[in-house]
Structure 1
Amino acid sequence: MGNIRTFIRSIIDLALVVVALGVVLQILFPQALVFINADVTANLINLINQFSGAGLVGAIAAGIVYYLISRS
């Protein structure tokens, strides 16, 4: 069970790095990322809007996501 948690945690860490890299690259080179065919910043903004539009349930879900990401 510990190996599975470690593996999933490493996948989540890698995904966070890829998302952060995508945001930075999209800010620095907005026209150069046409090969990805995804608007990373718009997707993040939509995710935040969905959390905020859901009221208390969205706040609880955002808190859970934050807890899962920030825990070591």
Structure 2
Amino acid sequence: MEKITAQITSIIKTVSELGIGLIALGIIAEIVFGQGAIFGASVVSNLSSIVGSIGGENGFVGLIALLLIVGLLRK
């Protein structure tokens, strides 16, 4: 059972690292080439709307929550 849990944890970690890498690539491509350069959608505006929806009006609480989630994923 411990091996299965370790394998599932490894798979989840790999997928989350891949996702974070793709998001970073999308942000860099959008900064360099303009809106919708790599994924056909604005990555920065989508991330801004997600942070805004988590934290409400000002988005600061959402940003803190997002940083906490990323910190937990890195452990």
| Match for residue 18 of structure 2 among 8, 14, 17 | 14
Instruction: Give the aligned CA root-mean-square deviation in angstroms.
Output: 2.5
Distance in 2 (CA, whole Å) between partners of 1:32 and 1:49 is 20
TM-score by length of 1: 0.73
Moved over 4 A (4+): none
Q: How far does residue 23 in structure 1 lie from its aligned partner after superposition?
A: 0.2
Q: How far does residue 32 in structure 1 lie from its aligned partner after superposition?
A: 6.8
Q: How many residues align?
A: 66
Gapped regions of structure 2 (runs ≥ 5): none
TM-score by length of 2: 0.71
Instruction: Report the CA distance shift for 1:50/1:3 in structure 2 as closer, same or farther (over 3 A).
Output: same
Gapped regions of structure 1 (runs ≥ 5): none
